[in-house]
Amino acid sequence: MIQPAPINPLQPNERFMRLALAQARYAYEQGEVPVGAVIVYEGRVIGEGYNQREMLNDPTAHAEMIAITQAAQVLESWRLLDCTLYVTLEPCPMCAGALVQARLPNIVYGTTDPKGGACHTLYQITNDPRLNHRCTVIGGLLQEECAFLLQEFFAEQRAKGKK
DSSP-derived 3-state class of residue 53: helix
Please tell me the distance from the alpha carbon of residue 136 to that of residue 52, in angstroms, as a whole number.
Answer: 27
Determine the residue type at 151.
Answer: Q
- What number of H helices and E strands is found in the chain? 5, 5
The rounded distance, in Å, linking the Cα atoms of 39 and 59 is 21
Name, in order, each residue with C-beta under 8 angstroms of 96's C-beta and a sequence gap of 6 or more: 118, 119, 123, 125, 126
Which residues are catalytically annotated? Answer: 64
Angle between helices 63-75 and 14-29 (to 10 degrees): 120
- Classify 106 as helix, strand or coil: strand
Q: Of 26, 30, 51, 29, give the one whose Cα is nearest residue 113.
A: 51
